[in-house]
Amino acid sequence: MVQTPYEILGDDGIRALADAFYRVMDQDPAVASIRAMHAADLGKVRSMLAAYLTGWMGGPPVYLAVKGTVCLTDVHAPYAIGPDERDQWLYCMDRALERIGASQELKDMLREPMFRVADTVRNQDHSGPKRRDPSIIAVG
């Protein structure tokens, strides 16, 4: 029987993954634009990522219990997230999986679903700052 990612990693493994994810984001200049979207202290967002991943990977719905919703688009709406930002997030996750010694089987299991999650929070077709909607005409 195929195990869920949660069964493979467990709570400690998911916390290690979230820690590694934000270490990559904090240290790698290649992801500076998404790092700039975060507060200086990554502690709270790190614990929220671990909570989200716990439920998303098949464990208990920790994030839902804390936030009352699992609507990621609302949380990310204030930020300009295009294809480059999505890909930087995926880069951080790939490096984090490597850092925790995830098996190739787990990486393969997560590749497509992680892309779908990252692409779901993309809120524009271009990368960089949000652009004003050209259909909105300022009056006065």
Of 6-10, 15-19, 28-32, 60-64, the one with minimum mean pLDDT is 60-64
How does pLDDT run across 12-48, given as a tens digit for each residue? 999 999 999 999 999 999 999 999 999 999 999 999 9
Our count of domains for the chain comes to: 1
Q: Please give the pLDDT value at position 106.
A: 97
CATH number for the domain spanning 11: value is 1.10.490.10
- Whether 140 is in a domain gets the answer no
Residue 130 lies in a domain: no
pLDDT of residue 75: 85
Query: Considering the domain boundaries, does residue 132 fall inside one?
Result: no
Task: Evaluate whether residue 79 is within a structural domain.
Answer: yes
Would you list the DSSP string of 67-131?
A: HS---HHHHHTTS---HHHHHHHHHHHHHHHHHTT--HHHHHHHHHHHHHHHHHT---SSSSS--
> Does 128 reside within a domain?
no
For residue 15, give its domain range. Answer: 5-120
- pLDDT category of residue 49 using cuts at 50, 70 and 90: very high
127 in a structural domain: no
Token reading at 140: 């006065």
Q: Decide if 109 contacts 5 (C-beta within 8 A).
A: yes
pLDDT in tens, 79-132: 889 999 999 999 999 999 999 999 999 999 999 999 999 999 998 887 766 554
Pick the closest to residue 57 from 134, 125, 3 (CA basis). Answer: 3
For residue 73 the two structure tokens come to 């688009």
pLDDT at residue 16, as a whole number: 98
pLDDT of residue 137: 37
